[in-house]
Structure formats: C-alpha cells, structure tokens
Amino acid sequence: MTFLNFALAFGAAAFVIPLVIHILNRSRFRTVEWGAMHLLESVIKVNHKRFQLDQLLLLLVRCAIPVLLALCLARPVLTGSRLLEGDAPVSMVMLLDTSYSMDASDSTGSRFKSAVEAACQIIAATTNGSEVAVILTGGKPTPLFDQPVFDSEAVIRRLRQVQSGYGASNMPEALNEAMAMLSGMSNARRELIVLSDFQAADWGDSGLITANAIRQQVDAMSIKPELTLYQIGSQVQGNVSVDSLEIPQRALGVDQQLAVRANIHNHGTSEVRNARVILRIDGAEASVSQISLAARGTTQTLFPCTFKTSGSHIIEVQVVVDDPLKTDNTFAAAVTVWESIKVVLVDGDPSSQPLKGETDFLSIALTPYTFGRVKLSDLVETQTIEAKEINEELLKTARVIVLANVSKLDDETLELMTNFVNEGGALFVTSGNRIDLTWYRERMYAQGTGLLPLPYGATVGQSEEVSNPSSEGKSSRIVAQHFSHPAMEFFNEAANGDLSKAEIRRWSQMKQTDELPIVESGTTATDPEETQPAEPQQHVVVLARLETGDPLLVERRFGDGVVMQMATACDADWSDLPLRPFYVPLMQQIVTTMASQIAPPRNIQTGEPVVALFSNDSQDGQTHAAALSVTTPDGAQQSITPESQGTLQLARFDETQRPGVYSMVLPSTETIYFVAATSRNESDLSMLSKDKLLSLSKDMAATIISTPAQYLEQDRLRRHGREIWKFVLMGLLALMFLELVLQQRFSRVIT
C-alpha cells in the first residue's frame, strides 16, 4: 500500500491526542469526600472489570478515529503484494490483428480503425523508458519494427500507416513470436496485449490448446507478462465471400476458352437473392451473372472467357452485395496466356515415309490445325529433329523436349538436357524398340540421380510381328480410373474419350526402385500422412497404369523442371493409341500441362515468394542485374535485383504478406502478374462469444478489456493500486458513530 499524500499519513500520530486526554483526565481528577460510599463501592466492585473493558474499547475507538482520518487524507492506494514503482517503464508487446476480417465495419466504423486507435492510446500512455513492440498478426506474424522501440511516438506514427486486409491470423505463431520477443526485452514489467476481433474461426477449437500452451509458456518465463485480451468490434450479421477460383492448370493459348469456376459462400444466416457476380479480365468487366445463395450456402458460378493477347493476365470475380466485409467479395487469379509452346520432338526412329517416323503421329496430334491447314492457330509449335541435332541454342527456345524412341544420347547432349530440365524445362520420354536399355538405366536413371523417373526394364507384351499376335504375350489396356493428375483430368469425363479402349500391345516394364518410391497420382490428397514426401523430387507419380499393373505414365520433378516417362511408344508400332480419337487431347494435355508446370507459380498463398524466371536478353551474353519494379497490392512500388541462374535471370520478391495482385515489370517491358491469395477462414465474421472469450482468458490467465480506458484504468490499478480513501472515510464515519453509541451506552449522561 502506498499513499498519494504521504506527508499527511503522519497525521496518524494524532492518535495520541485521545490517549493524552484520557491520561490527563485520569491524572487531573477532582476529589470528592463522599458519604454514600456503601452504594458506590458495591457498584464498583461488581462492575470493575467491565468498566475497564469499556474504557479500553472507547479509548481504542477514539484513538482509531484520528488514525483513520489521517489515512483518509493521505489517500491510501492498494498496490497488491508487488512493490514495483508506479512509474516503472514497461516492456510491451502488442499483437495487432491485421487480418482482412478486421476490415469489417459496423455502426462504429471499421474494426481495424478502432484497433489502431486503441493501440495508439495504450502506447501513448506508456511511461518514459518503456519499450514497445507491435506484431502484425495478419498472414505471417510480422513485427512493425525489427527491434523493440523506446520511442512510443515513432511507433504510433508507424501504426497509423498500417493497413489491414492481410491473410488469416496465425495466432499461435504470433503469440510464440511475442513470447520470444518479450523474453528478450529489458524492463521488469512485461505486458502482452492482443488486439483482435477474436473470430471463432481463429480461436474456436484450437484456441483452447493454444491457450494452454501459452499459459505453460508464460509460467515458464522468469518474468511473467501480464496478458490482456482486447476484443475489437461487435458481432455483425451476414457476409458473402468469393472463396476461390478454379482454373484449369494446363497451358492456355490465345483465343482458347478458359472456364473459370468461382466458389461463392454465404456465411450469413439469411438468404442472399439476385446478387450480381462480375468477372473482370485485367480490370475490364468481361462477364456478369446473377446468383442466389441460401443461408450458410455455397454456390459455383462458371465463367467462360478467352484472351486476345498472350502474356500475363488477371481475372477477378466480384460478388456485389452489401455486407459488412468488402475485402472478401473479390477473388483474383493470375492467368498466363501463351503465344505458343515450342516443343522439340527428338525422333529416334525417323522415316521418310508418311506416318512411319516415330514422332509423326505426335507432331500431328500437337499441331492439328497446322497439319489440317486451317486458319486456327495451334498453341504448340513443334520441331522435329534427330538426337544429334540437339544443341544449346535449341534448348534455349524450347519449353518441352520429347525423346521418342531415342536409343541414347551422347554425354554432352545428356548434360545439356539435364541442365535444361534442371532450370525448368520439361522432358517427355517415350519407349520403343530402339532404346538402349543399359544406357537408359545407367545414365538416364543413374540410380535415381538421373533424369529418368524409372529405369526401363524388359519389353513385354505381344511380339513385334503383327502377323503373329499370340506368339508371346498378350496386349494390355489402360486401367479405367478417376484421374487426379491435371494432365489426365480431362479424361474423367466420358465424352472426352475412353482411354481404356486403346490397346497397348508392347511396353517396357518400369520397375519400382528403392531410390525413388512410387506414389499414385491423387493419393497425396486422399492419404497425406503416408505419402507426403519430404521433397517432391524424391518420388515418382504414376499417372496411369496398365491392366497388368505396370505403370504406363509416370512423372517426376527434377530441379525446377519436370520429366514424364511413358512405357510404350508414341507411334502406332506398340499400340493403337495414335489411331484413337483421344490421342490428340491426351498428348496436348500432357505437353501443355508439362509446359505450364515448369513456370514458377503465379497464384501463390500469402507469404510465399513471387518468383519470375526470364531469359537474359543482353546481346553480348553477359548477365547484368538491372533492378526490376514490383508493385504491391497497396500500390507501393519496390525494386528488386534479379539473380543470374544459369542462362536465366531469377527475380524473387518475398514481401507477399498482403493478399492481392503483385505486378512485376521485366526488362523486356512485359508485365507479369502474381496473385497472393489467403484462406477465406476469416470470412465467417462470427466472433467468440463472451463466455468463450472468458474461458479463453481464464485458460490464458489473461484479462479481458473492451475499451482502452479500461486498460489504462487497469494499468493504473496495477501500477498505483486502488484508491481506498472512500472506504477509509466510511470506516471513519462508522467509528465516529460507534464512539457516540459506546459513549452513550457506557455513560448515559442526561443533562
């Protein structure tokens, strides 16, 4: 306990006044020669002890009155058991929720504005010497300053510039970071304040586990921080969000139709009728549709669209409704439209006769319009060469190389090829009667370190003699299944062709090896625990199998590129695939998917780096590092310096915490777009109920506040304690009354 007017507490010494009066009274008595002593004596004899007790009691009460009066004037303050100085500086870490749900607005304005205002008020009230750190929890927890700052005004200035709209908060991680930061701070008084809307989605079930973990962490700390939870905003009803856009992954050419599916979710409890949904391409309205959404329902809207120019484009779907949170009413995606995809077909069994060459069918399948001499343009541009013609220049322009029944490559070419794939190229290897099994196994596979996903084994199936089909073995067919690989998804619809109708007469067996485990395509999604590998390059994905169980089509990531391997030949020698109608889409799908996979992804999650690979355009072949400009979603421009990676330049931008469209201007003045998306978990705006928040705070041993003033009051109480002069005054009055009563009771003097 401390006193605001400590000097007045000395007034408590006035307790001696009644004591002195009592003693004086006793000493300065008058003497009366008394006659009726026999009456007096009997009274004194009986009541002697009671009189003494009464006198003592009265004396105590009278002594207590000046003591209480002095206490009252000295303004006592209860400070609890701690003896910290009231103005001691504080080490404060503030977690400010910058997730997009904080953009939600109610009658009092946006949650985020309230949060920033509250944070500024709290920080402004810190005493001199206090150090403050603010961690923005939206997306990846990010400190406002790298180090805790002693200048609270600087923090406030910076805070006022902070914008919300980041991805969903990762509170456990943010709290961990806050704890780590707190433990490194210097002041003895530690504060941890969480300013958030405490959405049920963030804190619901996992909140309890998090709370316990936090409490354990707090308990383990040598100086325990005071935890304060500040729930911003009030419950708002209803919100509609565009949860995601589904875009086919295969490469897209100019004028090719793209089907964009938008998933729209109604989080509210009332139905939404006739909401307009707008598709914008590069900011221009391209298509509009109208939807109705049931309460808590979801719906899909399909937008077919085409692109007139090649290059990077942005498509954006917006649902036009009047809801509290506008941020999640739009969802964007980056789409790359290819002018053409150059595919180099390396023919291992060339022929001058039509359709006898190994790659003739494949070439036709990839460029049907060119072959048919129609005006429509093909996305794929093929060039058929022989193995010996492979050189560095060719590989610079090629996006996909097909090794069709190539017996073997010389070492130099193999190295070129390895570099090509390693730097992001795509390689498609098909089997055939010419291939050198030993070379493929030893050089191309090289015990898992080479390009090949699996080594080719023995050739099985029917004899090559067509006239004697049943001499050796039987042909096989492709297993009819649901394909989950993007290249094969097309065939999940029966109308697009039935792969199982094709007869595979001969094929090279591809045996699983110890080096690279085989994973069925699509199993990653269904059973992630068992098949989730550490590195995608360390396993082989089977796209399709034969009825015999042998893999027909396998894929493996290699470096930044991808390698696909087929067990049979790509011409009609070993199968009747080229004679089937679905051969064209199958090959197109395989090649375009491979071509689109090799580019670094342009639709990323927030926090993932934006990476662009582009060729070095300098004529002299020397690499030069010209700065590139990146425009972030909030309009700020930042420059980055690309790094040279082999023959290519790599530009990387890591500051992608904010969801939205990032654009990068390449040296060739081409602008490429990236879209950082975030989970729509926070679109459900329901907040933790009071009870749940209370139990959460109990688990965390935290205090809940609802206004900055409340925090300041609580802080004042913790620092200075609670003023109790009113209670003392009440006690004083009670004592005075008691004194009066006692005096009346003991004396009963009637004048």
Residues that bind other proteins (CB under 8 A): 25-26, 28-44, 46-47, 51, 54-55, 746-749
Helix (H, G, I), strand (E, B) or coil at 103: helix
Distance separating alpha carbons of residues 433 and 456, to the nearest angstrom: 12
Rounded to 5°, the CA angle 571-251-598 comes to 85
In the bound complex, what is the minimum distance in angstroms from residue 41's beta carbon to other proteins? 7
Amino acid identity, residue 181? M
Distance separating alpha carbons of residues 64 and 481, to the nearest angstrom: 93
Structure tokens at 207: 């909140």
In the bound complex, what is the minimum distance in angstroms from residue 65's beta carbon to other proteins? 19
Residue closer to other proteins by CB (options 21, 295) is 21
Sign of CA dihedral 64, 69, 70, 71: positive
What is the DSSP secondary structure assignment for residue 703, as one 8-state letter? Answer: E
Amino acid identity, residue 395? L
CA distances, 439 to each of 372, 407, 435, 442, 732 (Å)? 38, 8, 8, 5, 104
In the bound complex, what is the minimum distance in angstroms from residue 224's beta carbon to other proteins? 57
Residue closer to other proteins by CB (options 52, 108) is 52
What is the DSSP secondary structure assignment for residue 442, as one 8-state letter? Answer: I
Beta partners for residue 96, in sequence order: 136, 195
Beta partners for residue 109, in sequence order: 106
Residue 187 Cα to chain centre, angstroms: 32
In the bound complex, what is the minimum distance in angstroms from residue 740's beta carbon to other proteins? 14
Contact of 140 with 170, CB cutoff 8 Å: yes
* Residues across the chain: 751
Sign of CA dihedral 125, 127, 128, 129: negative
The residue written with tokens 């200048």 in the block is: 151
In the bound complex, what is the minimum distance in angstroms from residue 57's beta carbon to other proteins? 12
Residue closer to other proteins by CB (options 689, 747) is 747
CA distances, 297 to each of 272, 273, 390, 537, 676 (Å)? 9, 12, 56, 39, 25
Amino acid identity, residue 108? T
Residue closer to other proteins by CB (options 31, 668) is 31
CA-derived radius of gyration, the chain = 41
Residue closer to other proteins by CB (options 44, 295) is 44
Residue closer to other proteins by CB (options 26, 482) is 26
Residue closer to other proteins by CB (options 40, 709) is 40
Distance separating alpha carbons of residues 750 and 724, to the nearest angstrom: 38
Residue closer to other proteins by CB (options 59, 599) is 59
Helix (H, G, I), strand (E, B) or coil at 237: coil
Residue closer to other proteins by CB (options 622, 751) is 751
In the bound complex, what is the minimum distance in angstroms from residue 741's beta carbon to other proteins? 15
In the bound complex, what is the minimum distance in angstroms from residue 743's beta carbon to other proteins? 8
In the bound complex, what is the minimum distance in angstroms from residue 69's beta carbon to other proteins? 25
- CA-nearest of 156, 148, 150 to 124 is 156
Residue closer to other proteins by CB (options 17, 223) is 17
Residue closer to other proteins by CB (options 23, 209) is 23
In the bound complex, what is the minimum distance in angstroms from residue 40's beta carbon to other proteins? 6
In the bound complex, what is the minimum distance in angstroms from residue 67's beta carbon to other proteins? 23
- CA-nearest of 437, 446, 462 to 515 is 446
Residue closer to other proteins by CB (options 27, 257) is 27
| Enclosing H/E stretch for 22 | helix 16-27
In the bound complex, what is the minimum distance in angstroms from residue 714's beta carbon to other proteins? 51
Helix (H, G, I), strand (E, B) or coil at 255: coil
Residue closer to other proteins by CB (options 38, 482) is 38
CA distances, 431 to each of 165, 247, 366, 511 (Å)? 52, 32, 18, 14
In the bound complex, what is the minimum distance in angstroms from residue 13's beta carbon to other proteins? 25
Q: Is 139 left (phi over 0), alpha (psi -120 to 50) or beta?
A: left
In the bound complex, what is the minimum distance in angstroms from residue 737's beta carbon to other proteins? 19
Burial class (CB in 10 A: 0-12, 13-18, 19+), 400: buried
Distance separating alpha carbons of residues 390 and 161, to the nearest angstrom: 56
